[in-house]
Amino acid sequence: MLNIKNLHVKLEEEDKQILKGVDLSVEAGKVHAIMGPNGSGKSTLSYVLSGREGYEVTDGTAHLGDVDLLELEPEERSAEGLFLAFQYPVEIPGVGNMTFMRTALNAQRKARDEEELSAADFLKLVRARAKDLKIDADMLKRPVNVGFSGGEKKRNEILQMAILEPKMCILDETDSGLDVDAMKLVSEGVNALRDTGRGFLVITHYQRLLDHIKPDVVHIMADGRIVKTGGPDLALEVENNGYADILAEVA
């Protein structure tokens, strides 16, 4: 589903190489986790895949199915089925949460030559999905993420994911800032979307989230590279011994 080959990325404004040859493949139906120390390039990878400005790809490729992601605008990548749940969801004063989600869904449908959803059908869809995530009417009415707690912001990300039904979901530190209850809600939301046709890339600093969202494959990222790949027990190893051992081992 997602195929990343030898991806090299530097900052556009500075001569600073951040990704130094990332190789990664996520198959449909699988959940891959990326763990790694702060500053290792995990968020950068998610931003480059989703098309944020400020980065320059100096080598390598990234495909979603047959589609060359790096050729596309962010909105085109989204319409192709890529979704990034942000580490820091953005507050947008003046834009209603509902308006935003409806605009996004309909823009994607339009890009795929599908018919737009009517206001009534959209409302039905949102209400159903919001209920599972315990998102109340008030949160839907408010401006996007404005005045939301950390947990509410993350649930709002998962709500958008549930509504847009992407093929490939990237979750960047979705566990950060969540208490135990919110973590459960968010994980259940993600697990409900697990499907044979959908891939997940779960970026996390801690093992905690992976107790709830059980990964098939775990990668360790350090200094802009995937340095080790293994099964779910690799996450436990990190939990017990920290990153130092693993990093020393691959050095």
Ligand X SMILES: Nc1ncnc2c1ncn2[C@@H]1O[C@H](COP(=O)(O)OP(=O)(O)O)[C@@H](O)[C@H]1O
187 binds, among another protein, Mg ion, ligand X, none (CB under 5 to 8 A by kind): none
Give the side-chain half-sphere CA count within 13 A for 107.
Answer: 13
Check residue 40 for interaction with ligand X (CB under 6 A). yes
78 binds, among ligand X, another protein, Mg ion, none (CB under 5 to 8 A by kind): another protein
Among 104, 125, 236, 247, binds another protein (CB under 8 A): 104
218 binds, among another protein, ligand X, Mg ion, none (CB under 5 to 8 A by kind): none
Site size for another protein (CB under 8 A): 32
Check residue 18 for interaction with ligand X (CB under 6 A). yes
Check residue 108 for interaction with another protein (CB under 8 A). yes
Q: Where does 84-230 have alpha helices with state H? A: 97-111, 119-132, 137-141, 150-164, 180-193, 208-212
Query: Residue 183 to residues 162, 174, 187, 238: CA-CA distances in angstroms?
Result: 16, 9, 6, 20
Residues 157-176 touching another protein, rule: CB under 8 A, are 160, 164
DSSP three-state, residue 170: strand
Check residue 133 for interaction with ligand X (CB under 6 A). no
**In the complex, minimum distance from the CB of residue 206 to ligand X, in angstroms, rounded to a whole number:** 13
Among 43, 108, 187, 207, binds Mg ion (CB under 5 A): 43
Q: How far apart are CA 7 and CA 57, in angstroms?
A: 7
Check residue 53 for interaction with another protein (CB under 8 A). yes
Which residue's Cβ lies closest to Mg ion? 43
65 binds, among Mg ion, another protein, ligand X, none (CB under 5 to 8 A by kind): none
Among 29, 74, 150, 177, binds another protein (CB under 8 A): 74
Among 42, 102, 219, 225, binds ligand X (CB under 6 A): 42
Q: Where are the beta strands (DSSP E) in the chain?
A: 2-11, 17-26, 31-35, 55-64, 67-68, 82-85, 92-96, 143-144, 168-172, 199-204, 217-222, 225-230
Q: What is the CB neighbour count within 10 angstroms for residue 194?
A: 15
Q: How far apart are CA 111 and CA 61, in angstroms?
A: 24
Check residue 36 for interaction with ligand X (CB under 6 A). yes
DSSP three-state, residue 207: coil
Q: What is the CB neighbour count within 10 angstroms for residue 68?
A: 10
Among 40, 43, 44, 50, binds another protein (CB under 8 A): 50
| Binding residues for ligand X (CB under 6 A) | 11, 18, 36, 38-44, 54
